[in-house]
Amino acid sequence: MQRCRGSFCRASRVKGVRSSAESFNVYDLLKRAITAETPLAVANVVANNSGIRLALGTKVLVFLDGRTEGSFGVKELDEPVRRDAVALLAREKSRTIAYKTGPEEIVEVYIESILPPPPLVIIGADPDAVPVVKFGKQLGFKVVLVDHRAGFANSARYPEADQIIVCQMEELASSLKINSQTFVLVKTHNYMRDKDILKFVLKSPARYVGQLGPKARMDDLLTDLSKEGVGLSSAEEAKLYAPTGLDIGAESPEQIALSVLAEMLAVKNGRLGSFLREQSAAIHPRD
């Protein structure tokens, strides 16, 4: 009969655990996941004050759908770590969590969320797109530039762009991949073209859709879309930012790019983009 101490049985404590390198190649799997832009969390043992034979540095990979690669060799530790890793990954957070394995015994696991860079799709390769592409890349976005003119959208003009797509606007749906993490900026400076693009991007899973231009122009666009039978749900309206950008008095292309990208970062990080001095909460709150 097994005798348990805390939530772990003695049989599990003396069993011993193979290292990550012995059981699977963690770094190879991690490299493949990053290359495929697959979100995952790395759960890494950083302290072990318990009777479990668990080497520091033992790692388990956890994917957003709950799949795992590797094991700590103890079911009662694997499951809570998996559960916490999925929750942190969904919130795009990392954290060290202490797991109690006995009355005075703790295993500490650092769970690091590794996320692919969010795509930033810029539709319109006019000269004012140059600082948006440059700053967007510097801020950690995967920058995709789209235009129907090869003479405007090319790597010579936009060396920082991760991808350049040259296509007609009616080909967007078949040429452009948009997911729930995608930020879209529409800036063709052509009313009819912007209207056709909005039909597609507002109905896509995009997280953010920014439309460059004054509010009156956006009101006209929405009115015309409605006349054409394109109704927007509350969720679709909520992800539309028009005029796009924060109110910082931007005038030059560089200042406008800063304003737009600052708003995108605020949306990405769940912030309002207000003055820090007006906040009473910590800038970096603990989870």
Domain CATH code at residue 156: 3.40.50.720
The answer to whether position 20 is within a domain reads: yes
User: Are residues 25 and 99 both part of a single domain?
Assistant: yes
Give the rounded percent of residues in the chain with a pLDDT score beyond 70. 90
User: Are residues 11 and 152 both part of a single domain?
Assistant: no
Predicted confidence band at 284 (pLDDT cuts at 50, 70, 90)? low
Q: Which of 68, 93, 114 is the last residue of a domain?
A: 114
- Average pLDDT, stretch 165-181? 92
User: Are residues 105 and 158 both part of a single domain?
Assistant: no
Instruction: Flag whether pLDDT at 7 surpasses 60.
Output: no
pLDDT of 287: 60
Predicted confidence band at 51 (pLDDT cuts at 50, 70, 90)? confident
Give the rounded percent of residues in the chain with a pLDDT score beyond 90. 74
Instruction: Flag whether pLDDT at 112 surpasses 90.
Output: yes
Interval 21-32: pLDDT, tens: 344 688 888 889
Report the chain's terminal Cα–Cα distance, integer Å. 41
> 28-37, 141-150, 162-171, 202-211: lowest mean pLDDT where?
28-37
The answer to whether position 273 is within a domain reads: no
pLDDT of 24: 63
- Average pLDDT, stretch 135-149? 97
pLDDT of 104: 85
pLDDT of 106: 93
User: Are residues 128 and 150 both part of a single domain?
Assistant: yes
pLDDT of 276: 85
pLDDT of 75: 85
- Average pLDDT, stretch 152-179? 94
The answer to whether position 279 is within a domain reads: no
pLDDT of 52: 86
Q: 45-66 burial by CB neighbour count: b if 16+ within 10 A, else e? A: beebebbbebeeebbbbbbeee
Instruction: Flag whether pLDDT at 9 surpasses 80.
Output: no
User: Are residues 130 and 239 both part of a single domain?
Assistant: yes
> How many structural domains are present in the chain?
2
User: Are residues 70 and 185 both part of a single domain?
Assistant: no
User: Are residues 88 and 25 both part of a single domain?
Assistant: yes
Q: Tell me the average pLDDT of the chain.
A: 88
Domain that holds residue 177: 119-268
Instruction: Flag whether pLDDT at 270 surpasses 70.
Output: yes
User: Are residues 98 and 186 both part of a single domain?
Assistant: no
